[in-house]
Amino acid sequence: QHNFPKIFNNFTRTNNAKQDKASEPAPYTVVQSFAARLRYNQSKTEIPIVLNDLIHTTRQGYPAVLLDEHDYYVKLAECCKYTLVGKFINTMPKMELPIVLIWVVVLGLPWHCYNKVLSTTILESVGKVLYLDSPTSQRTRGSTTRVKVQVDLTNKSPEHVWLGFKNSDPNKGRWLKVQYEGIPDYCMYCKHQGHMDYDCTIKRRDEDVNRRKEMESEKKTSQKEINDKVEMK
């Protein structure tokens, strides 16, 4: 239990030549704890930034986030410090809940915006941002932010989010493209993952039953009308 592989950041590695060797991959059973430790260390070293009041609104039917310009150009760029070493390997048990953890990719963000606080606010309408992937935190990949997000499948997942500025030219800003990696289908009818409502066999069966019931009650009413007419005579 206490033999967690120690995680070194780049600073300790350059000071200790022995630790520079590529380490053996962690055994499977350790991987989950390894990733948990990595995330814990990442959250510890991440400098929390406080963004000035944001405005969440919509633009052309898509969610829009309006930031303080100073936050965007200065504050976010100031805290590009921490480095993350390692890989995340995550397995999720198959659940029939509408809540899943998926990778969400935001295209079009400049590198100084690869930040959890900003990603959280940009993806507010999508779900809860848990952590950034390694290339995003290390800024080794251009113009793509990839974050793990807890998504509610019953919500609509927007394909674009507008990022603009408060008290500024309303057309100053940019559309960010949002992509969802492997987002599962979710049936709102039977509350199961793997298919959509229009492919639901349970829904089709229930509709058949209802149709038969309707037809029977229609038959009864028309029979009753005939009987009533006969009585009138």
The site for Zn ion (CB under 5 A) is made up of: 187, 189-190, 200
Min dist CB 96 to Zn ion, Å, is: 10
Cα→Cα distances 180→88, 157, 190, Å: 18, 8, 23
Query: What is the C-alpha separation between 142 and 110, in angstroms, rounded?
Result: 8
Tokens of 41: 């260390």
Q: Which is nearer to Zn ion, 190 or 215 (CB)?
A: 190
Within 10 angstroms of residue 50's Cβ, the number of other Cβ atoms is 7
Min dist CB 189 to Zn ion, Å, is: 5
Tokens of 136: 């995003």
Min dist CB 219 to Zn ion, Å, is: 30
Min dist CB 207 to Zn ion, Å, is: 12
Q: Which is nearer to Zn ion, 85 or 200 (CB)?
A: 200
Q: Which is nearer to Zn ion, 20 or 199 (CB)?
A: 199
Are 13 and 6 spatial neighbours (Cβ–Cβ below 8 Å)?
no
Residues 6+ apart with CB under 8 A from 61: none
Q: Which is nearer to Zn ion, 105 or 200 (CB)?
A: 200
Query: What is the C-alpha separation between 93 and 154, in angstroms, rounded?
Result: 19
